[in-house]
Structure 1
Amino acid sequence: MNRLLRMASLAAFVFVALSGVMGGVMGNFAGVAMAQAAGGIGSGPGYHDPRSPIKPLQERAGVVAWTLLSSVTTKVEKDKLTPIFPPQILALDKQKVRVQGFMMPLEPGDKQQHFLLSSVPTSCAFCVPAGPEGLIEVRTRQAVRYSLEAITIEGQLSVLSDDAYGMFYRLVDGQALKP
């Protein structure tokens, strides 16, 4: 039984690494193929489990909607996925915006300055809750306390068409806003 648990843990770790959170290869064709083979885990805008005790995000005035950010399409070129952004998303590039979402820490500790913001809450420690269209890499000026509840961040958004880590969006110079 112990061996079986170790094998399952290793398989989960490899899946997460190939999906991009640990290994930064979200745009890698092998990672995409694995996500598709696993039933789409880590692909698409994300799925909010109705059994979750955490409330889903509600669209708010003045906050960029995930329905817009997830409207990106992709095409396979050689060994990677290339995003195709609609004009409404391209217009947000290098603009100061507000986004809301669920924090996925990238560093140890309860305060984070570098994290992922997801369109849906994380429901599994080994699963990516959404694909690159449902995630934003965030860097903030001051550390933000981790919370299971949704947070709103304001900062400069970059729309990424060829990110080495497979991300579609990055927000820099961020600042957490009061709820």
Structure 2
Amino acid sequence: MMNWERRIAVALVAAASIGLMAQAPALTYNPNHYQNNDPIWDVLNQAQVTANAARGEYLATFPAALRDRENRPLRIAGFILPLEPTSQSAHFMLVRRNTGCPFCPPNAPTEALEVFSQKPVRYTGEEIVMTGRLKLVGASSEGLFFQLKDADVATGRN
């Protein structure tokens, strides 16, 4: 094939590709799929986090609204962030924002719960609702600031 024929062929393929792209449905960003707006996340975000550089850890201070919820039942929706390379686990993180979203900001330290489930939960990229007993943790050396003990997958939506 001569040089000018190759250029014409490339131009035709490019034009056809552009035409196909114009006909394809536009991908839309759905913030409800990537960030969970369960009101409990706003309550958890009231915790104040500070760094203790000398000890190499983060510390959390919990307002009364959070301390009153400790050891009480909690129902919260979010996304699973696995801690183990398995398809299901009884120990994982539940986060506010789906970590698979390349456009979302990362989760803040107050937007993650360490979940200790009564039985293994299958990983899914979709939102799930968990219930359990809230435990507050004041130092990052002891785990995440929020833990959900005796947790189970809730039935129904929040």
TM more than 0.5: yes
Paired position in structure 2 for 1:45: none
Q: Are 2:137 and 1:160 aligned? A: yes
The one of 35, 47, 50 aligned to 1:56:
35
The one of 124, 148, 162 aligned to 2:125:
148
Which amino acid in the other structure matches residue 85 of structure 1? F
Paired position in structure 1 for 2:59: 82
1:52, distance to aligned residue in structure 2 (A): 5.2
Separation in structure 1 between the aligned mates of residue 148 and residue 71 of structure 2, nearest angstrom: 9
Paired position in structure 2 for 1:71: 46
Percent identity between the two aligned chains: 26
1:131, distance to aligned residue in structure 2 (A): 2.6
1:166, distance to aligned residue in structure 2 (A): 5.1
1:117, distance to aligned residue in structure 2 (A): 0.3
Q: Is the 8 A contact 1:100 1:151 kept in 2?
A: yes
1:108-141 Cα offsets, whole Å, 9 max, x none, are 222121100001101369xx93132010000111
1:53-89 Cα offsets, whole Å, 9 max, x none, are 7253243xxxx61011012112333443321211101
Q: Is the 8 A contact 1:156 1:174 kept in 2?
A: yes
Which amino acid in the other structure matches residue 153 of structure 1? M
Separation in structure 2 between the aligned mates of residue 83 and residue 138 of structure 1, nearest angstrom: 18
Query: What TM-score results when the alignment is normalised by the length of structure 2?
Result: 0.68
Which amino acid in the other structure matches residue 149 of structure 1? E
1:87-116 Cα offsets, whole Å, 9 max, x none, are 101111111211111000112222121100
Query: What TM-score results when the alignment is normalised by the length of structure 1?
Result: 0.61
1:165, distance to aligned residue in structure 2 (A): 4.9
1:162, distance to aligned residue in structure 2 (A): 2.0
Count of aligned residue pairs for this structure pair: 125
Separation in structure 1 between the aligned mates of residue 101 and residue 40 of structure 2, nearest angstrom: 24
Which amino acid in the other structure matches residue 36 of structure 2? L
Pair 55,121 (structure 1): closer, same or farther in 2 beyond 3 Å:
closer
What SS does the aligned partner of 1:65 have?
helix
Which amino acid in the other structure matches residue 86 of structure 2? G
What SS does the aligned partner of 2:121 have?
strand
Which amino acid in the other structure matches residue 41 of structure 2? W
What is the RMSD computed on CA atoms of the aligned residues? 2.6
The one of 107, 113, 119 aligned to 2:96:
119
Q: Is the 8 A contact 1:104 1:122 kept in 2?
A: yes
